[in-house]
Structures are given as structure tokens and as C-alpha cells.
Amino acid sequence: MHETIFLISFALNSAGGKTPPAHLRLVMVGAQWSAKSSAGNTILRKKAFAVHHRRTTMSCEINHGILGERTLAVVDSPGWFYNHTLQDTSETDKHEVENSVYMCTPGPHAVLLVVGLAAAFNTSYHRAVQEHMSLFRDDVWKHTIVLFTRGDWLGVKTVEERIESEEGLQWLMKKCGNRYHVLDNMKHNDEMQVQDLLEKIEEMWAGNEDPHYKVDPDREAQLEARKEAEGKLARRIRKITERQSRILGKLFEGERLTITDLRIVLLGREESGKSMAGNNILFEEIFERVWVKKEFQDQRRTEKCVKHEGNFGRINVAVVETPGWPADTTAPVWLKEVVLRSVSMCAPGPHVFLLVVPISKAFTEEDHKALVELLMPFGERVWRHCMVLFTWGDWLNDRLIEEHIAGEGKSLQWLVEKCGYRYHVLNCHGLGNHFPVKLLFQKIIDMITRNKEQCFSAESKQGKKHKLPWRSRQSVLTEEEWNRREQELIDRMLRAVANEPEEPTQPFVKRGASLDGVFIPSSELILRENSEFVSYFHMCV
């Protein structure tokens, strides 16, 4: 009895005379690999959140627990890359971080800003925290406590000494009213370190006019609607890809392409993973990694293409890596000339341009413009030889790539559509996994088959502009014109499939232009042309 009275009295005094809430809602935000998930497990005293050396938290996750007289709800959120600006972070990750506070409506009592003591809180780390916290309203700082993890890294130094030694940490203390706590995730059974944290949260709660960070119901509805729309778009992208694959499989059924040489050009911004992709494709650490390039960039020119070759089974593979362009800028003039030279480095021409897009970073409007400018000198036909290669596939974890495409916005969606919905994902770690590369090669071979075994040639761009084959009045057509005619037809069919409504308003009727199990628009829907085109259409299908 006396013990119970003492506990109640202690709680009232520690909370400034107010009774603290029996149910605490906590949200954890912070950089990737700052040990947020481990901290959540320590607070809840159980393995509530998955912990792995690779990225595991792709979307917000909530778990519950009981500690003494308190009921806890803890939300874990995806981490941003510690040196990424807000613009660098993918749109999907930004919206997930913003959504974290809506996982525990009407709002969290405390936002735990997790900072790992194993890393220096340098200028880029400071900027990343400042910009990503701007995803919330400014009053979030009144409800924020800095949670330092990996306390064992302090050694004999105190956390106060660590704060005094780094200007960025001093700024952080000032922003959140000098509220902080150190957690040693290695001491899972140390209940006192969690008790101390909860008492600091209750003390902050008692000093705040608002009992918790209040969420905006209108913004919550917007985020929910956005997520629903992205899910619908992701399903549509996947369905388009599957439909087109089935149609092309039927069109080229029975054709067996024997290829002995494969020539690849890698295009992408700086630090997009081009070198790692090249190493994966050739199964060898042969392209210099980004930190090596930075170390020697003042000692030698880097504005040039690099070519390496290898073998995959009986296929001779040549990979040309082009220099990247800086983030937030368009492609410089010198880079356009270098990219033009990349084609001559794999004569008679590349079979595929792999447009390298890192999943861990946002694909910006500047990236979009840069790729368009670099490929513009080759003409519109170059896009038939392009495929989007997503790198850092481990950043996805269990998320589908179509969900990432749908969430990243119109620039990336335009690129995927422009490449005919040809895309592939590579995990840039571990050269020993051959399966993703085999699958990539198969997709490239399928594209080569669809292009009638022709590689891209810059010379064809320099020639005169050809008329559409079915508008020609010639009585005899060359093989090249027939191939061009067939490619135009296939393009129209695939575009028609991509534009097909998600839920047709009326049932499809199988016509002469349909394949078993797959709807292909009739010739009248594709192009209302003369009888020559219609006859050719039926002959192709």
C-alpha cells in the first residue's frame, strides 16, 4: 500500500503535478543504420522489429509493449541515407517518414530522433537531419528527444564531451531543448536505461502546452489517397509489362537467337552504381569504384569512357561505362561528346543502353533532362535499344520495383514508359550471384530479338529520314523496309496495350488480330490505314 502511494506521488512530482499518460506513443526517425530498429527492440524489451546488416525497414511499422504501469506504442520508420539531402531521398521514403506520425493518431507524445554514436555528426549528417525533419511541422522539435544509440562507442568519454566536440550536435541540442538520452543496444536486459528514457519523455510531456504532436487529418487523408493511387499504378505497370511480354513471346515464338557478342553502354548520374553494375555484369571487380575515382580525380582526367570485356558462357560481353553528371545539374557539353564516342568504342554499335538509376536516390527532373539531352543526338530510334537498370536493389527489400516506380513520380514513370517498360533490378553487392545477371541478359536478348537482331548504329541517324513503309508507293520493298515496317507495327501494338483501360467497359471480342489468351487491338484501332497496312498486320500476327 505504502509502495503504491509512493509510486503515484513520484509520478505526479516528476510530471510537474500532472498525471502522465498511461499509454505512451513514440515515433523513431533517423538515418539508415543508426540502430533505430534495435532501439525499438530495447525499449519494448522484445524482438519487435527486424534487424539486419542490410536495410530492413521499408515502410512504417508499429509494435506494442508493456513496461511496468505503462503501455507503449513504438513506430519505426525507414531511415534516410545519412549524407543525403532531402532532394536525394526517394519520394517513397520521404512520404513514409512523414507518415510515421500518423501511425499513432492523434499524434506521438515523443519523436525519438535516433543518432548513432558510431558515426561523426559532420556537416552532411547535420544537413540531412535538418532537411528531413522539415517533413514535419516546426513545432515537432518541442516533442523531440535525441536518442543516441551504440552508447558503447563512447568508451571513456561522456556523451556531454562528445556533444561539446561536435558543432552539429550542439545545434541539435539547441533545437530540441537540450533533451537527449543514451541507449546501449548491447544491454538488452538493462531495464533502467529504458526507465530513464521514459521518465525524460514524461518530463518533456509535462512541460509542453500540447500533450502530443498533433497530426493534420487533411494531410493524413492526402497521404492515404496517394498510397492507394500508387498501389493501383504499380499493379497497372506490372500488368502492362506482363502483357507485353506475353505478346512479344507469341510474336517471336519459335525464333531462337544465337548471340556470340553482347555490347553494353552504361549511362547514369554520378554515384548511380554504374561501376558496380559493370562489375556484376562481368563478374569481376574491374571497374573502379566511386571512392577510388574521387581519390585520384585531381591526378588524372576522368572525363572519358572506360571499356572492359569478359565472357558469360559462350557470349563475349563488352561493357562501356560513361562518366556521370553531377547531381542537380543537366549534362555538361563535354559529356555529350563523350557519350557520342561511347558508341564507336563498341563497334558496330551497342545492343543496349542501360540507363542506370539508383533505387536509394530520387530520380529528379534534372536526371530526366540530362538523359534526354545525352540521347537526343542519336535520334528517337535509340529508345528501342534502351533499358532502365535499377541499382542498389537491396534498398527495396521486399517492396516490388513497380511500387517504387509508381511512388517516385512522373519523371521516372516517363523514363520507364519511354523505354517500352523494359527494366531490371540489380543488387550491387556480391559478385557471386549469377541469377540476376542471367535474367538481365535474357531481357537484353529478348530486346535484341524484338529489334530484329540489329544493334544501334549512329550512322542510321545520319542518313535521310525514312517514310513509313505502308505510305510508300514502291511495289518492291527491301528487307530493311520490311523490318522497319514490322517494328513500327509492334510499337503501335505495345502502346495500344499500355493505353488499354484497367477495367474495360465492354468485353473484348476476339478478332483476327488477337492471340490466344492475349488481347491485341485490331488493325482498325491501331491505325485506320489503307488495305496494304491491314494485310501486313494480319500477316505479322
- Tell me the percentage of the chain whose pLDDT exceeds 90: 59
Q: What is the largest distance, in Å, between two alpha-carbon atoms of the chain?
A: 107
Does 108 score more than 80 pLDDT?
yes
Phi-psi domain of 209 (left: phi exceeds 0; alpha: psi -120 through 50; beta: other):
alpha
pLDDT, averaged across the chain: 82
Question: Which tens digit of pLDDT belongs to each residue from 361-377?
Answer: 999 999 999 999 999 99
3-state secondary structure of 439: helix
Question: Which tens digit of pLDDT belongs to each residue from 505-541?
Answer: 444 333 333 333 333 333 333 333 334 333 433 434 3
- Tell me the percentage of the chain whose pLDDT exceeds 70: 78
Give the model's pLDDT for residue 170.
Answer: 97
Give the model's pLDDT for residue 489.
Answer: 66
Give the model's pLDDT for residue 57.
Answer: 84
149: phi then psi, degrees, rounded to nearest 5: -105, 170
Place of cell 522539435: 141
Q: How confident is the model at residue 24 (pLDDT cuts 50, 70, 90)?
A: very high
Mean pLDDT, residues 123-147 taken together: 97
Say if CB 36 and CB 44 are below 8 A apart: no
Which range, of 76-80, 182-186, 249-253, 264-268, averages the lowest pLDDT? 249-253
Domain boundaries, the chain: 2-215, 221-256+466-541, 257-462
pTM above 0.85, yes or no: no
Alpha carbons 240 and 372: distance in angstroms, whole number: 23
Give the model's pLDDT for residue 482.
Answer: 56
Residue 450 in grid coordinates:
524484338
Does 210 score more than 50 pLDDT?
yes
- Assign domain 2-215 to a CATH class: alpha beta
Which range, of 350-354, 431-435, 496-500, 535-539, averages the lowest pLDDT? 535-539
Alpha carbons 486 and 450: distance in angstroms, whole number: 10
Q: Where are any strands of DSSP class E within 284-406?
A: 306-312, 315-321, 352-358, 386-391
Terminal CA-CA length for the chain: 87
Domain range 257-462, its CATH number among 3.40.50.300, 3.50.30.60, 3.30.1490.20, 3.40.190.10: 3.40.50.300
Alpha carbons 533 and 117: distance in angstroms, whole number: 69
Same fold, 2-215 and 257-462: yes
Give the model's pLDDT for residue 509.
Answer: 38
Mean pLDDT, residues 106-118 taken together: 96
